[in-house]
């Protein structure tokens, strides 16, 4: 193996330490950062994610308020909860854990989060500001990817970046964040032709597909930075990325592992966004 591993655990710890220091400064000014998390239903994976977020908050000195609602909660009830949190000045960040039960319109709920408290960066206003280059909360996963790329010391400007995946929460914002840093960006998806050849041109390759081992070694340019966003549970019960790690590591200069990579950075970036939301109270 030739690639250096980008250590998500160490990097996430550094980002959380940065957030904790910022929280201390806010507390000295009388602002106690607070994140409210709404969890509807009893999806076990969502419950694990929410517990992780509360633990991260505790570690950074951020208050967390987890509001657990029954799976039968109506859209109106959920919107009413959001309205109350929106009006509550002691709550700086609001996050609705996805997915929501099928009877609830996810887009309508996300749109009801005030943009200045939208620490996931999923509201149309934040997505629009990301597109137009305005101040915004960047979604945590792609923001974490950028921090991981920057940690390698490479200059993103002028690099060929390829993002595989075009979801609103990962692929599209990752492409926009790379573009904002002057990379030349190509976005690939399920209709892309000659995907392997396009990937081979990438100095920076971001895989957000949701298919274990989708990016094979022959799709990686020698010396590339490979960021694996995928989290796929295999038949073996283990987590696998979208990249064939062993084969890609033979070619890449830098690569992220799964687990221990982007997932941890996503959690850390949520802490940074929550601090940013609280800092607005001091502006």
Whichever of 43 and 88 has its CB closer to ligand NDP, that residue is 43
Contacts of ligand NDP in 111-130 (CB under 6 A):
none
Give the residue with the Cβ less far from ligand NDP, 45 or 72: 45
Residues 6+ away with beta carbon under 8 Å from 251: 2, 3, 217, 220, 221, 222, 223, 224
- Judged by CB, which is closer to ligand NDP: 164, or 277? 164
117 catalytic residue (yes or no): no
Residue 109 in contact with ligand NDP, rule: CB under 6 A: no
Cα–Cα distance, 4 to 163 (Å, whole number): 20
Label residue 233 exposed, middle or buried (CB < 10 Å: 0-12, 13-18, 19+): exposed
Question: To the nearest whole angstrom, how small is the minimum distance from the Cβ of residue 177 to ligand NDP?
Answer: 14
Phi-psi domain of 223 (left: phi exceeds 0; alpha: psi -120 through 50; beta: other): left
> From the candidates 16, 56, 97, 228, which is the catalytic residue?
97
Contacting range for ligand NDP; rule: CB under 6 A; set: 111-119, 123-131, 209-217, 243-251: 209-217
Among 153, 190, 197, 237, binds ligand NDP (CB under 6 A): 190
β-bridge pairing 204-207 and 225-228: parallel
Q: Is position 256 an interface residue for ligand NDP (rule: CB under 6 A)?
A: no
For position 191 contacting ligand NDP by CB under 6 A, the verdict is yes
Q: How far is the CB of 72 from ligand NDP (least distance, A)?
A: 26
Closer residue to ligand NDP, CB minimum distance, 82 or 208: 208
Residue in 114, 115, 210, 259 binding ligand NDP, rule: CB under 6 A: 210
Q: Return the sign of the alpha-carbon dihedral for residues 225, 229, 232, 233.
A: positive
Q: At closest approach, how far in Å is the CB of 86 from ligand NDP?
A: 25
Contacts of 43 (CB under 8 A, 6+ apart): 99
The reply to whether 110 sits near ligand NDP by the rule CB under 6 A is: no
Spatial contact of 226 and 199, defined as CB atoms under 8 Å apart: no
Q: Is the C-alpha dihedral spanning 44, 170, 159, 153 positive or negative? A: negative
Of 184 and 192, nearer to ligand NDP (C-beta) is 192
263 binds ligand NDP (CB under 6 A): yes
* Binding status of residue 169 toward ligand NDP by CB under 6 A: yes
Based on the shown chain and the rule CB under 6 A, indicate whether residue 255 belongs to the binding site for ligand NDP.
no
Binding window for ligand NDP (CB under 6 A); candidates: 64-72, 106-114, 130-138, 158-166:
158-166
**Active-site residue, 53 included:** yes
The phi and psi torsions of 206 (rounded to 5 degrees) equal -110, 120
- Annotated catalytic residue: which of 120, 203, 228, 244? 120
| Nearest-angstrom CA–CA distance, 245 and 5 | 10
Contact call for residues 56 and 66 (beta carbons, < 8 A): no
CB 78 within 8 A of CB 101: no
Q: Which residues pair with 232 in a beta bridge?
A: 240
Catalytic residues: 53, 97, 120
């Amino acid at each position: 193996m030739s690639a250096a591993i980008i250590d998500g655990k160490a990097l996430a710890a550094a980002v959380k330490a940065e957030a904790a220091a910022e929280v201390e400064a806010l507390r000295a000014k009388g602002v106690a950062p607070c994140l409210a998390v709404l969890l509807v239903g009893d999806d076990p994976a969502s419950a694990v994610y929410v517990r992780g977020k509360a633990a991260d908050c505790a570690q950074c000195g951020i208050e967390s308020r987890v509001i657990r609602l029954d799976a039968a909660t109506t859209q109106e009830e959920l919107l009413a909860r959001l309205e109350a949190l929106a009006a509550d000045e002691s709550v700086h960040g609001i996050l609705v854990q996805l997915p929501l039960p099928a009877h609830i319109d996810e887009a309508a709920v996300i749109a009801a989060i005030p943009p200045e408290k939208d620490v996931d960066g999923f509201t149309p206003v934040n997505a629009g500001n990301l597109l137009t280059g305005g101040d915004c909360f960047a979604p945590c996963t792609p923001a974490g990817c950028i921090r991981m790329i920057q940690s390698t010391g490479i200059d993103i400007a002028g690099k060929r970046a390829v993002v595989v995946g075009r979801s609103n929460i990962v692929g599209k914002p990752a492409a926009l964040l790379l573009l904002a840093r002057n990379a030349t960006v190509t976005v690939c998806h399920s209709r892309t032709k000659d995907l392997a050849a396009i990937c081979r041109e990438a100095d920076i390759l971001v895989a957000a597909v949701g298919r274990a081992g989708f990016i094979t070694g022959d799709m990686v340019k020698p010396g590339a930075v490979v960021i694996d966003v995928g989290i796929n549970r295999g038949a073996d019960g283990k987590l696998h990325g979208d990249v064939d790690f062993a084969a890609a590591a033979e070619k890449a200069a830098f690569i992220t592992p799964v687990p221990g990579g982007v997932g941890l950075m996503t959690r850390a970036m949520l802490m940074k966004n929550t601090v940013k939301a609280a800092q607005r109270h001091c502006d």
